[in-house]
Amino acid sequence: MASTTPAPYVVEDCGPNLQLFSDGTVIRFEDYNILPPPVLPPALSTVQWKDVVYDAGRGLKLRVYRPPAATVAGEKLPVLVYFHGGGYVIGSFEMDNFHACCLRLAHELPAVVLSADYRLAPEHRLPAAHDDAATAMSWVRDQAVASGDAADPWLEESADFGRVFVSGDSAGAGIVHHVALRLGSGQIAVDPARVAGCALLFPYFGGEERTRSEAEYPPGPFLTLPFSDQGWRLALPRGATRDHPLANPFGPESPAMDAVALPPLLVVVAQLDLLRDRDVDYAARLRAMGKQVEMVEFEGQHHGFFAVEPLGDAGSELVRVVRRFVYGNGGDAAAAAAAASK
pLDDT band at 32 (very low <50, low <70, confident <90, very high): low
| Mean pLDDT, residues 88-108 taken together | 95
Enter the DSSP assignment of 160: E
According to DSSP, the residues that pair with 166 across neighbouring strands are 81, 198
Q: Is 171 helix (H, G, I), strand (E, B) or coil?
A: helix
Q: Which residues contact 167 (CB under 8 A, 6 or more apart)?
A: 80, 81, 82, 83, 105, 173, 176, 198, 199, 200, 201, 322
Give me the amino acid identity at 135: T
In a domain, 295, yes or no: yes
Name the domain count of the chain: 1
Question: 64 lies in a domain?
Answer: yes
Question: DSSP labels for 15-66?
Answer: TTSEEEETTS-EEE-S----SPPP---GGGGGSEEEEEEEETTTTEEEEEEE
For residue 39, tell me if it sits in a domain: no
Q: Does position 337 have pLDDT exceeding 70, yes or no?
A: no
**Active site annotation includes 213:** no
> Any idea which of 71-80, 265-274, 289-298 has the lowest mean pLDDT?
71-80
Task: Place 333 in a pLDDT band, splitting at 50, 70 and 90.
Answer: very low
Residue 294 lies in a domain: yes
Q: Are strands 265-270 and 293-298 parallel, antiparallel or unpaired?
A: parallel
Cα-Cα-Cα-Cα torsion 233, 234, 237, 238, nearest 10 degrees, comes to 70
Q: Which of 1-5, 131-135, 202-206, 306-310 has the lowest mean pLDDT?
A: 1-5
Catalytic residue among 170, 254, 316, 341: 170
**86, 117 contact by CB (below 8 A):** no
Write out the E strands in the chain. 10-13, 18-21, 26-28, 48-55, 60-66, 77-83, 112-116, 159-169, 195-201, 265-270, 293-298
pLDDT at 317 over 80: yes
pLDDT band at 336 (very low <50, low <70, confident <90, very high): very low
Phi, psi of 180 (to 5 degrees): -60, -40
Specify if 60 maps to a domain: yes
Residue 280 lies in a domain: yes
Please report whether residue 32 resides in a domain: no
Average pLDDT of span 294-317: 96
296 in Cβ contact with 336 (< 8 Å): yes
Domain assignment of residue 192, yes or no: yes
β-strand pairing of 159-169 with 77-83: parallel
232: containing domain: 47-334
d(CA 101, CA 85): 12
The CATH number linked to 86 is: 3.40.50.1820
Query: What is the distance between the alpha carbons of residues 151 and 159, in angstroms, rounded to a whole number?
Result: 11
Residue of 60, 242, 228 whose CA lies nearest to 133: 60
Of the listed ranges 57-71, 236-250, 291-305, the least confidently predicted one is: 57-71
Q: What band does 10 get if pLDDT is binned at 50, 70 and 90?
A: confident
Mean pLDDT, range 212-229, rounded to an integer: 91
Determine the pLDDT at residue 247: 98
Query: Once rounded to an integer, what is the mean pLDDT over residues 240-263?
Result: 97
